[in-house]
Amino acid sequence: MTKSLAEDSEIQEDYEVFRAIVEKFTPAEAARRIRRMGVPEDIVRRIVERHEHECIRVRDMDEPHSVYRDNRMTWYTGPQSGDRNWPSLEQSLRDKYRNEDAVKAVDDASTKVVSLLEHPKLAEFSTRGLVVGFVQSGKTTNFTAVMAKAADRGYKLFIVLSGVHNALRKQTQIRLKNDLIAANPELWHEVTTPERDFGERGNAAAYLAAKDQHLLLVVKKNAAVLRKLNAWLGTAHEYLENCPTLIIDDEADQSTVATKKINPLLFKVLSKFPKVGYVGYTATPFANLLIDPSVTEDFYPRDFIVNLPKPIGHQGTEVLFGREPLDWEDAADVPGGYDMIRRVPDDEVEDLKPKNKKEAPTFAPALTPSLEAAVRWFWLATAARRVRGTGNPHSSMLIHTSVDSSVHFGFVPVLKAFRSRTLDGLNRQARKLLDDLRQQWTEETAKVRAADLGEIPVSFDELLVHLHGVVRETTLVVDNYRSKDRLDYDSGPVTTIAVGGNTLSRGLTLEGLVCSLFVRGASAYDTLLQMGRWFGYRDGYADLPRIWMTDELQGWFRHLATVEAEMRVDIDRYMTTNENPMTFAVRLRSHPKLLITAKAKMKDAVKAEAAYGGHLIESRYFDVRPEGKSWLEKNARAAKDLIEDCLSASGSRVQSDRNRVLFKDVPHERVTRYLAEYEFHRKSTEADSRRLLGYIEKRLRAGALKRWNVAVIGNNKTGATPYAIDSETSIGMVRRGRIDPKSGVAPGEPADIKTLTSARDTTLDLSLPSGVEQLKRSEIEQLREAQAPDVGLLLLYPIDPISHTEVAGRVDLNAPADVVMGTALLFPHPAGEDDKVEAEYYSANLVEQDDVDALEIDDEEEE
């Protein structure tokens, strides 16, 4: 930190307020709050600059991190008054969305991602992160906003890896040009263009030497292109040393992972830069989450993984197909999906796609009843949309039955003939045709009511006025690598039926997609989900989308909705607990007929337990407001009742000074009774009592967790406040100061003690090897598996309500109760018959990363 910033006394008082808010919230929120306090913009700018320099100083000194964003040091304070790229994009988003909530959601989500990058002024850095969105949910908008904010703060070179197809690369380049560059063309230079991918561009130094200008490259993940890019960058090594670079990997699970050509070339690009952030974006992160973290040349998101929030109005897997309840959920609370899926009978499939590759060249598709119904619905829905006159001006239908391009062309004469017959019938006002159309409209609109989704009901007679024009204007486009036609939404409103395969199955947006017929099989989760082009926003026609598919495919998508929900719960642990991608691996549920991802991408994956198997769950947040007194007292009573149950049980009891009391072989009924009475704070998302009890019940049915070891953990230091076990025994209460909130904390925010349990506590019911003082986490797990394979461990922590502390960054707890009761549970790994309780799960292998000294105190304040 420079002397002028450190000694800027004019800002000191406001800077202290800012720092206090940062301790509890984000830098961006701190900046917003001091503005609302009336701090002048010039002072805010100087405060932010000082904060950034302080973060760099702390990082360079390798001291304990003092500023965090969701358990990770950060520097970014959000947009500032002198920024140009983000304000322009923000205005563009306002014009596009006409919805302040949607714009704020983009602002908040992109700020979170930028805050997890490194400061561009650091001497060197290499960050690897992953952002998980939903299919067709606005990931491009998010990374455009991330690029704008990073550019405003000093990142210079931006490389966007945009899938493997020309159409998606072109679409991405055009969007970035329109949304990011057009408003400030003098700030940017496009090294690539919509028409041309990266090629020979002359000396890279000539581009990189330019001051006050950002460079944009949008390139395919193609071996020839990446070799040219590597060679080009190699000509300007000295300029790269001070060139903060952000690499956005769109569709990060495609080609980046486990490919013999693309993966090494991408790593060569990454290794060219001393200062680089790599952020992968995908809606199907399964392959990325299973990368071996110990391979430094690969792209495991070792620094952060972020869930983008579910957008308002987005129709995703869960909305359309429903899902199964998770372990802790009641079936009644789980969305069942809209009634938008229509059945393709199995006996029609052979008329829609060939049985095998050998039949493909001569296969002739037929107009089956389901295909006829789907096309008619497309015309009806499009006509209804014209009556409403709102939303996307385009209207599209997708037919996806086979990957083979020769099959796609076979649909053209079939659909043209059907269109001609329908036009003729409409011209003649054919009674049967009109009756059939009216009946289909009546039945479908009764199944999904427009008013229930906030849309305007349309009668058949109203849409009939537009129907002839819709059918007449419908174009038929075959979009594959052999066809000359391509979907073109830039030349005015389009009404089209698109037939295709791979070129339409990832990344590319089918504008105004209202109807789909989909019978193509898939072998893996990511492949299947990416084919679902029907996911997305349906503004103005939320009631009209329909999908025709087989019963089996519908079941697969319902399973995938369940997988996604579980995966996002795991990812959210990084934001609410002390976990990070190097200490906790996201778990992915398997399926008997589908691979999670391609076999080559799963080669390093290991089998993992679901839910709580092998994991420590603990209370971290406590309501210490006056209003929280009854809650604290209720939990204290529940603990007293449990201790009395343990004293009366037949199990043995072990005591060690004033430090702990251990009860062994406690019946499970006493533990489940306690969990039914004890209430974790709602912010402790992993520690939901209903979820815990549901999980224990499943394990009990399999014969495990019938007995528990229960311990009361105390503090044996002189002066500790006593906590009575019974009339003869007491232990000292532990002290847990809370993270210092100082000022700016919103009403109702709980006290955050951050860490309740030490690793040593999790071994107190085990016999440790003689003379061993340090054990790794994996070694402790092996001991537990050998000594207590189906026994749970419950730890009670009577916390001193005052918990006076002098630890930096902490303040006294000052709770309005006689004792604050903390709780931790450690579940053994399922084994044998017990293992069948949980679905089979896979995760990245973190064993090579297991260098944690498990007997070391986890919290500097532990007493």
pTM of the model: 0.72
Structure tokens at 567: 């995966």
Q: Which residue, among 297, 314, 270, has the nearest Cα to 126 in the 3D structure? A: 270
Instruction: Please list, in sequence order, all residues whose beta carbon lies within 8 angstroms of the beta carbon of residue 309, skipping any fewer than 6 positions away.
Output: 105, 109
Sign of CA dihedral 101, 106, 107, 108: positive
> What average pLDDT does this structure show over 515-519?
94
Interval 146-193: pLDDT, tens: 999 999 999 999 999 998 888 889 989 999 999 999 999 999 999 999
Q: Which residue, among 173, 106, 152, has the nearest Cα to 311 in the 3D structure? A: 106
Q: H-type helices in 325-366, by residue range?
A: 346-349
Phi, psi (5° rounding) for residue 250?
Answer: -75, 140
pLDDT of residue 576: 64
Q: Which residue, among 222, 150, 212, 237, has the nearest Cα to 192 in the 3D structure? A: 222
Distance of alpha carbon 794 from alpha carbon 71, whole angstroms: 26
Hey, where are the domains in the chain?
Answer: 123-311, 326-558, 616-849
| CA 550 centroid distance within chain | 29
Structure tokens at 189: 């230079």
Q: How confident is the model at residue 78 (pLDDT cuts 50, 70, 90)?
A: confident
Interval 778-835: pLDDT, tens: 678 788 888 888 899 999 999 999 999 887 778 899 999 999 999 999 988 777 655 5
Q: How confident is the model at residue 505 (pLDDT cuts 50, 70, 90)?
A: low
Distance of alpha carbon 47 from alpha carbon 44, whole angstroms: 5
> What average pLDDT does this structure show over 653-663?
78
User: One-letter amino acid identity for 61?
Assistant: M
Distance of alpha carbon 568 from alpha carbon 582, whole angstroms: 17
- Given a contact cutoff of 8 angstroms between Cβ atoms, the answer to whether 317 and 557 are in contact is yes
Give the angle 325-329-330 at the CA atoms, nearest 5°: 85
- Given a contact cutoff of 8 angstroms between Cβ atoms, the answer to whether 477 and 498 are in contact is yes
- Given a contact cutoff of 8 angstroms between Cβ atoms, the answer to whether 375 and 415 are in contact is yes
Neighbouring C-beta atoms of residue 610, cutoff 10 Å: 20
> What average pLDDT does this structure show over 360-383?
96
Structure tokens at 826: 């450690």
pLDDT of residue 537: 84
Q: H-type helices in 78-165, by residue range?
A: 85-97, 100-115, 139-152
Q: How confident is the model at residue 441 (pLDDT cuts 50, 70, 90)?
A: very high
Q: Name the architecture of domain 123-311.
A: 3-Layer(aba) Sandwich (3.40)
pLDDT at 625 over 60: yes
- Given a contact cutoff of 8 angstroms between Cβ atoms, the answer to whether 749 and 21 are in contact is no
Angle between helix 431-447 and 460-473 (nearest 10): 110
- Given a contact cutoff of 8 angstroms between Cβ atoms, the answer to whether 686 and 573 are in contact is yes
Q: How confident is the model at residue 776 (pLDDT cuts 50, 70, 90)?
A: confident
pLDDT of residue 84: 95
- Given a contact cutoff of 8 angstroms between Cβ atoms, the answer to whether 286 and 597 are in contact is yes
Distance of alpha carbon 814 from alpha carbon 821, whole angstroms: 14
Sign of CA dihedral 461, 465, 469, 472: positive
Distance of alpha carbon 392 from alpha carbon 414, whole angstroms: 28
User: One-letter amino acid identity for 854?
Assistant: A
In the chain, what percentage of residues exceed pLDDT 90? 47
Neighbouring C-beta atoms of residue 534, cutoff 10 Å: 21
